[in-house]
Amino acid sequence: MFSYIKGRLAEVGTETVVIENGGLGWLINVPTTVINRLPAGESEVKMYVCMIVRDETPKFYGFLEKDEQMLFEMLLSVTGIGPKAALSILSTLAPAEFFLAIINENLKVLTRAPGIGQKSARRLIVELKEKVSELSKAAFPLAGTEASGTRTGDPASEAMAALLALGYTGTEAQQALQKVSKRGENLNAEEIIRRALSALAER
C-alpha cells in the first residue's frame, strides 16, 4: 500500500497531476485546492496518496497534507460517497471547515460542495459525527492519565491532543489554540476544539 510519492512535478491539469518518480510518470487525481497550492515550475513535490482499484484499474488520489488524505479516506467510508464526491468536498472545504460542519451539523456548509445535496449532507453527519468525536477521545490520554485511568489533562491539553488526532501538526494545533485562548476564560475541551477548528478553517 502506498503512503506518499515524492518526485518531479511533470504536468499539471485541471483535475490531475503527473509526478515523475523512478522514470515513471504517475497520474494522480487531486482536488482543486491541491492544484491551487502547487509550486510553480517542475519542482519536487511530496504527495500523500490513496490507491483505489475499480474494475481492475488502479487510480491514485493525491493530497499535499496528511489531514487531507485522512479526510478523503474517512469520506469513502460513508455510504454513497465515492472518490468523485470526496474530491468535490475536499475541493470546496478545508478539513478543519469540514470537521466543524460535522460537529455543528451544518447542512448549509456541507451542501456547498457540488454534488452534495441535503440527503448526502445528512448522511455525512450521521455516519461521521461519532467517528470525529472518537478521534478526539482517542487522543485524550495523551494529555495525561492517572493509574486509575481517570483523565487529568487540562482542557487545553485535551484540545491539543484532539487536534493532533484529527491530523493537524503540532505547530498548526498550537497556533490555533493560541488564537482562541483568552485570559480569564474557563472553557471546556469541546468548546476549545470548536474554536480552534474555526481558526484553522479561516487560514
Say if residue 146 is in the same domain as residue 165.
Answer: yes
Q: What is the CATH number of the domain that holds 59?
A: 2.40.50.140
Which domain-ending residue is among 86, 106, 129?
129
- Segments forming the whole domain that contains residue 179: 138-201
Say if residue 26 is in the same domain as residue 14.
Answer: yes
Say if residue 78 is in the same domain as residue 90.
Answer: yes
Which domain-ending residue is among 106, 129, 152?
129
| Domain total in the chain | 3
Q: What is the CATH number of the domain that holds 91?
A: 1.10.150.20
Residues 51-85 pLDDT 10s: 998 888 899 999 999 889 989 999 999 999 999 99
Looking at residue 42, what DSSP letter applies? S
Residues 146-200 pLDDT 10s: 333 334 457 777 777 778 777 787 778 888 888 877 655 777 777 888 888 888 8
Say if residue 48 is in the same domain as residue 88.
Answer: no
Mean pLDDT of the chain: 83
Q: Kindly state the average pLDDT of the residues 101-105.
A: 86
Q: What pLDDT score does 174 carry?
A: 80
Nine-digit cell string for 6: 515524492
Contacts of 135 (CB under 8 A, 6+ apart): 162, 165, 166
Strands 44-54 vs 4-12: parallel, antiparallel or unpaired: antiparallel
- At position 58, the amino acid (one-letter code) is P
Say if residue 38 is in the same domain as residue 91.
Answer: no
Say if residue 101 is in the same domain as residue 154.
Answer: no
Say if residue 125 is in the same domain as residue 175.
Answer: no
Residues 122 and 28: their CA atoms lie apart, in Å, by 30
CB count within 10 Å of CB 131 equals 12
Q: What pLDDT score does 151 carry?
A: 43
Q: Kindly state the average pLDDT of the residues 1-28.
A: 93
Which domain-ending residue is among 63, 83, 100?
63
Say if residue 13 is in the same domain as residue 40.
Answer: yes
